[in-house]
Amino acid sequence: PQHAAQAAGPAVVAVSPASTSTTVGDEIVIDITAANVPEQPGIGGYLIVLEWDAAVLTLTSISDAGWLTAKGGNILPYCDPPDIDNVAGTAAADCSPILAFGLGASPSGPLVHAVFRARAPGSTAISLEGSALKGTSESSTIDSSITGGTVTVAGSAAVAAVTDTPISQVTATAA
């Protein structure tokens, strides 16, 4: 059976921080969070689908944040190994409840940690389109809204410090 959200408004799945910046070569951690989750049934699992511009960022890892088991205590989820495609700029993390003893996790917390490495200057949206919160039974979902984010990558400091040396100043020595 489908469970509807009982909190004020739907639950929210969001990128946190919503907007951030970094420099080429640096790593950045982005959390995918859940908020406004109804106490009944609570979260039993999730499907997080990420999309980004692969020319700007590379996803180095995506991992469960542990909130389902730490916060709820009544859920035993099974998480599939993450599916990461850095050529297409897509990834998926899927955790489903195997056993649920009562209510799931609520009202808010981090679902997954995504670690990106900045590849090139530019800006990219981090889309969560297709993501969903699962209830405490494998077939139930929780009504939720999806909010993506943005990452802006600046050129590296080392590149900015490079200066041109005129050819006339370069001398060659004959061996």
pLDDT for 38 equals 83
CA–CA distance, 114 with 54 (Å, rounded to integer): 14
Q: What is the 3 state secondary structure string of 105-117? A: ECCCEEEEEEEEE
**Residue 54 pLDDT:** 98
pLDDT tens-place string over residues 42-85: 888 899 999 999 999 999 999 999 887 775 557 778 899 999 99
Confidence of residue 127 (pLDDT cuts 50, 70, 90): very high
pLDDT for the residue numbered 171: 41
| 56 and 153 Cβ atoms separated by less than 8 Å | yes
* Residue 71 confidence (pLDDT): 56
| pLDDT for the residue 123 | 97
**108 near 33, Cβ under 8 Å?**
yes
* Token pair for 37: 């989750």
pLDDT reading at 105 higher than 90: no
Q: What are phi and psi of 27, to 5 degrees?
A: -100, 150
Q: Can you give the pLDDT at residue 50?
A: 97
Q: According to the model, what pLDDT value does residue 73 have?
A: 59
Given a cut of 80, whether residue 134 has pLDDT beyond it is yes
For tokens 């990461």, what's the residue?
84
Structure-model confidence comparison of residues 101 and 26, the more confident one = 26
Contacts of 90 (CB under 8 A, 6+ apart): 49, 50, 51, 84
Which residue in the block uniquely carries the two structure tokens 């959390």? Answer: 31
